[in-house]
């Protein structure tokens, strides 16, 4: 079951009403388009992401639906509006690219907008840790190489936050947690290829070309090793995503 399937199940028979996608992307909007909403607003961090979202929506955009490019640091963004259902879909990790170290403010920032439900979907951090199994070590190595390549290309990697951190912040920000679910992650060929392709793209912007050549060789070896283990075992099984269901405190 995907995270989106899980959120649909957790929502049950509760009306979706008006929906806010607080960190819009193509995947989350595809899911929202499948729900019986009255209207939706999708907030994208960049114009490029907004165009991707617009392409997904296509002719399904209704008169009341909106795609907005904005930052949650902007106090005027959606000021005075309220939505029945709010989705923060991997928003915590993505904020790092726009407002580093501001993640502890996002739930309070969204609080006036949440009418009935807030769904938080996130990834349990894995890069800073040292797993003691083969699958975990490979996934962590891929994550570390990815982040190193992005940093040396003057980009900011996503900064994921653990479930217990989110639960503390939600409580402090005026929410009641109704349910929590975890989904084990199976990292297959698509994960391995996409993450290491991202490394290669970042390396092309490095100024030190001798270091770039060496890193390309390292990535090729890591790719071959990870794909071989995934092929042997069916996938790299390590880590989990989570979904938090919450509502605003009265």
In words, the CATH class of domain 1-125+160-185+239-250 is: alpha beta
| Tens of pLDDT, residues 165-182 | 999 999 999 999 999 999
Structure tokens at 235: 């996938």
Structure tokens at 8: 């649909």
Q: pLDDT confidence of 195, banded at 50, 70, 90?
A: very high
Q: Residue 1 pLDDT more than 80?
A: no
Q: pLDDT confidence of 100, banded at 50, 70, 90?
A: confident
Helices (H), the chain: 3-11, 26-33, 47-57, 91-95, 106-110, 134-152, 163-172, 189-203, 209-233
Q: pLDDT confidence of 98, banded at 50, 70, 90?
A: confident
Q: pLDDT confidence of 2, banded at 50, 70, 90?
A: confident
The pTM for the full model equals: 0.93
User: What pLDDT is stored for residue 86 in this prediction?
Assistant: 98
Cα–Cα separations (whole angstroms), residue 124 to 99, 148, 241: 20, 19, 6
Q: Residue 243 pLDDT more than 80?
A: yes
Cβ atoms of residues 162 and 129 within 8 Å: no
| Tens of pLDDT, residues 15-70 | 999 999 999 999 999 999 999 999 999 999 999 999 999 999 999 999 999 999 99
Residues 6+ apart with CB under 8 A from 104: 169
List 43's β-bridge partners, or say none: 68
Name the residue with tokens 């040292």. 130
Q: pLDDT confidence of 107, banded at 50, 70, 90?
A: very high
Instruction: Give CA–CA dist 115/99, Å, rounded.
Output: 25
Instruction: Give CA–CA dist 167/19, Å, rounded.
Output: 22
Instruction: Give CA–CA dist 211/150, Å, rounded.
Output: 14
User: What pLDDT is stored for residue 242 in this prediction?
Assistant: 97
- Span 146-171, mean pLDDT? 95
Structure tokens at 135: 């699958």
Closest CA relative to residue 147, chosen from 156, 139, 138: 156
Q: Residue 152 pLDDT more than 90?
A: yes
Q: Residue 97 pLDDT more than 90?
A: no
Closest CA relative to residue 170, chosen from 122, 128, 129, 126: 122
User: What pLDDT is stored for residue 155 in this prediction?
Assistant: 93
User: What pLDDT is stored for residue 99 in this prediction?
Assistant: 86
Structure tokens at 60: 């399904």
Name the residue with tokens 């005026």. 174
User: What pLDDT is stored for residue 74 in this prediction?
Assistant: 95
- Span 68-77, mean pLDDT? 95
């Amino acid at each position: 079951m995907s995270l989106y399937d899980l959120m649909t199940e957790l929502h049950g028979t509760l009306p979706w009403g008006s929906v806010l996608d607080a960190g819009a992307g193509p995947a989350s909007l595809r899911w929202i388009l499948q729900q019986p909403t009255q209207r939706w607003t999708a907030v994208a961090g960049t114009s490029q992401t907004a165009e991707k979202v617009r392409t997904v929506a296509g002719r399904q955009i209704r008169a009341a639906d909106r795609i907005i490019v904005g930052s949650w640091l902007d106090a005027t963004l959606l000021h005075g509006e309220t939505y029945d259902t709010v989705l923060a879909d991997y928003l915590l990790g993505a904020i790092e690219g726009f407002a580093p170290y501001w993640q502890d403010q996002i739930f309070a920032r969204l609080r006036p907008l949440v009418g009935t439900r807030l769904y938080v979907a996130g990834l349990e951090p894995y890069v800073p840790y040292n797993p003691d199994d083969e699958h975990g070590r490979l996934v962590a190595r891929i994550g570390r190489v990815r982040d190193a390549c992005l940093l040396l290309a003057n980009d900011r990697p996503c900064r994921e936050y653990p479930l217990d951190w989110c639960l503390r912040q939600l409580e402090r920000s005026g929410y009641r947690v109704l349910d929590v679910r975890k989904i084990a992650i199976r990292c297959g060929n698509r994960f391995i290829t996409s993450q290491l392709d991202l490394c290669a793209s970042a390396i092309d912007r490095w100024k030190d070309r001798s270091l770039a050549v060496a890193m390309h060789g390292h990535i090729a070896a890591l790719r071959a090793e990870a794909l071989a283990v995934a092929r042997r075992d069916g996938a790299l099984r390590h880590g989990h995503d989570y979904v938090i269901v919450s509502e605003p405190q009265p």
